[in-house]
Chain A
Amino acid sequence: MICTQVLIIGGGPGGLAAAHGVASVGANCLILERDNRLGGILNQCIHNGFGLHRFNEELTGPEYAHRWIDIISTNPHINAKLNCFVTEIQRTQDGFLTTAMSADGLLEVESKAVILTTGCRERAAGSILLGGTRPSGIYTAGCAQKFINIEGKSVGKKAAILGSGDIGLIMARRLICEGTEVVGIYEIMPASGGLARNITQCVRDFNIPLHLSTTVTRVAGRDRLEGIFVAPVNEKLQPVYELEKFVPCDTLLLSVGLLPENEILSKFGLEWTPATNSFAVDEFFMTDCEGLFLAGNVLHVNDLVDNVSSEGEFAGTSAGRYALGELSKGAERVEIGHDEHIKYTAPKYIHLDHEGTAQISFRVSKNYKKVIIKAFSGGKEVSRKPCPAVTAGEMQTLIIDKSKLIDGLYLEVEVL
């Protein structure tokens, strides 16, 4: 049995920053990571574009992870154990008892607080109802990314990609650079959800055909994939089967969304928020269960790693203070309200304790040109952020000075 003040589950960027946060308030923590190294998904994201906010440099994923590992590795308050797969978390009288499978057998950890930073996983063929046979050659984009970038394997000769989010676009370029032909990227929506930068540098730079309002209807092939059927979709996003056609290829990458990896908490009876596919938290990143915190992609899918790091750090300082008995939550908790331009906020709740600041992340429901994001409390404006443009894909954040809160907190997007 190991004892620690704060247990952090998952050693990706969220977990690393959380550890830094815990240590910064003088508490001890242990990170349990199932992989044989820290860094999480960053290890396989070898392209540049990470850390512009945090380090003022454009790093690759592994370099960004390396910087953080350097920051925490010399800190005496922080320990990490690799090859430990956490299988269960239980509430005890004065904290938590967590069970993990490790190379040395079963591991039990007792802690005052737990921070879950287990990231997310990809939606697979089963979850999008892809018709046809089940030949080899169909991968999720992230799985292919790992095979190619970390294991040095080749996934096929001629590939198609379903979904044009950033991971799909980045993988299209990786395949081309590895000598795999990319026959096309198929996107069911009328626009790509990827960043303009990735459209230019991954798709146009290599003349890859990007087919919008088009989807893959079924796959064909016995042992190995021999091709896919694609069809344009109507306004209701239903395929127009009369226009279906066959595209020969031996590989299909699925880049169709990410799901927070939070099933391990299902028996806690926490409040679920469908908009994020995860559980509700307050501004300390604490769930309904005292001492249980969530941060990073397990809370909501982030597009920028810098956001994950700042969220992790916030959760870490809160959990550290909680474990030391310094986090008073006696104040009233209210739900953060918002208008119809905002899809959700994380955190969902805030306390009227009038102390410190809160970081509120949210996504807007569609693309807008010029807007002002405003926060109100007791009819008074408490924060505002003018934005030259906001897109539905991109996460926004607003910092709230809690001393200004009168009753609740309400967010509004004023479209100019």
Chain B
Amino acid sequence: MSNNELQTICIRCPIGCHLTVKRENGEIVVSGNNCPRGAEYGKQEFTNPMRTITAVYKLKNGGTICVRTNKAVEKVKYFEILREIHSAPEPKNPKYGDTFISNVYNTGADVIITAVNKDED
């Protein structure tokens, strides 16, 4: 796989068309798609794939907080966002649904708490 071509499978519906995305004369061309949604997906994956990031924050006294971004963010920022999550200060009284980090890594997305796993005893 080169930077000029991407082979992938469309995940927008169960058909799973095998897509080829290429840059031809400055334009991005998707082939193999059965419908326009596949072209849109292929272009997005080729130019700037987006992902919802989920992560685990370890609590000092054992246990974890599980978090996710509240919307998809640029995949290229994956590890920077993870680093910001892992190095955030420990919240005092974390609760399900709380915002853990707002506007993480300047993406416009918030990181929210999806679970708190503390040893009760």
A150 touches B16 (CB 8 A): no
Q: 9 nearest interchain CB pairs? A: A62-B115, A152-B58, A196-B9, A152-B64, A46-B66, A388-B15, A197-B11, A60-B114, A150-B117
Known contacts A62-B66, A149-B66, A151-B62; A46 and B56 CB within 8 A of each other = yes
For A46, list chain B residues within 8 Å (CB).
54-56, 66, 68, 114-115
- Complex Cα spacing A389 to B56, Å: 35
Q: Does A201 contact B (CB under 8 A)?
A: yes
A151 touches B117 (CB 8 A): yes
**CB-CB nearest in chain A for B96:** A66
Residues 80-100 of chain B, each 1 if its beta carbon lies under 8 Å from chain A, else 0 = 001000000000000010000
8 Å CB contact of A196 from B16, B82, B117: B16
Instruction: List 10 additional A-B contacts (Cβ < 8 Å) besides A43-B115, A48-B54, A150-B63.
Output: A60-B68, A60-B114, A62-B96, A151-B62, A152-B56, A152-B63, A177-B55, A196-B9, A200-B8, A388-B15
Residues 53-85 of chain B, each 1 if its beta carbon lies under 8 Å from chain A, else 0 = 011101100111010100000010010001000
Query: Please, could you name 28 A-B residue pairs with CB atoms under 8 Å apart, sorted by A?
Result: A46-B54, A46-B114, A48-B54, A59-B114, A60-B54, A60-B114, A60-B115, A62-B96, A62-B114, A63-B115, A66-B96, A148-B56, A150-B64, A151-B117, A152-B59, A152-B64, A152-B117, A177-B55, A177-B82, A195-B11, A196-B10, A199-B9, A200-B9, A200-B11, A204-B8, A388-B14, A389-B14, A389-B15
**CB-CB nearest in chain B for A200:** B8
Q: Does A266 contact B (CB under 8 A)?
A: no
Q: Does B52 contact A (CB under 8 A)?
A: yes
Instruction: Give min CB distance, B35 to chain A, whole Å.
Output: 10
**CB-CB nearest in chain B for A39:** B115
Q: Does A178 contact B (CB under 8 A)?
A: yes
- Complex Cα spacing A205 to B11, Å: 15
A interface list, Cβ under 8 A from B:
36, 43, 46-48, 58-60, 62-63, 66, 148-152, 177-178, 195-197, 199-201, 204-205, 387-390, 394
Q: Does B37 contact A (CB under 8 A)?
A: no
Give the A-B pair count, Cβ closer than 8 A.
Answer: 77
- Complex Cα spacing A169 to B68, Å: 19
For A197, list chain B residues within 8 Å (CB).
11
For A150, list chain B residues within 8 Å (CB).
63-64, 117
- Complex Cα spacing A66 to B117, Å: 13
* Chain B interface, number of residues (Cβ within 8 angstroms): 30
- Complex Cα spacing A4 to B25, Å: 72
For B82, list chain A residues within 8 Å (CB).
177
8 Å CB contact of B51 from A43, A149, A178, A201: A201
- Complex Cα spacing A29 to B62, Å: 35
Instruction: Give min CB distance, A36 to chain B, whole Å.
Output: 7
A36 touches B120 (CB 8 A): yes
For B59, list chain A residues within 8 Å (CB).
152
- Complex Cα spacing A201 to B120, Å: 34
For A178, list chain B residues within 8 Å (CB).
56
For B117, list chain A residues within 8 Å (CB).
43, 149-152
Instruction: Give min CB distance, A141 to chain B, whole Å.
Output: 16
For B68, list chain A residues within 8 Å (CB).
46, 48, 60
Instruction: Give min CB distance, B39 to chain A, whole Å.
Output: 17
For B96, list chain A residues within 8 Å (CB).
62, 66
B120 touches A196 (CB 8 A): no
- Complex Cα spacing A36 to B11, Å: 37
For B52, list chain A residues within 8 Å (CB).
48, 58
**CB-CB nearest in chain B for A58:** B52
A387 touches B14 (CB 8 A): yes
For A196, list chain B residues within 8 Å (CB).
9-11, 16
Instruction: Give min CB distance, B121 to chain A, whole Å.
Output: 9
Instruction: Give min CB distance, A191 to chain B, whole Å.
Output: 12
For B15, list chain A residues within 8 Å (CB).
388-389
Instruction: Give min CB distance, A215 to chain B, whole Å.
Output: 25
For A58, list chain B residues within 8 Å (CB).
52
A388 touches B13 (CB 8 A): yes
B51 touches A389 (CB 8 A): no
**CB-CB nearest in chain A for B56:** A149
- Complex Cα spacing A196 to B58, Å: 30
Instruction: Give min CB distance, B64 to chain A, whole Å.
Output: 4
Instruction: Give min CB distance, B89 to chain A, whole Å.
Output: 16
**CB-CB nearest in chain A for B55:** A177
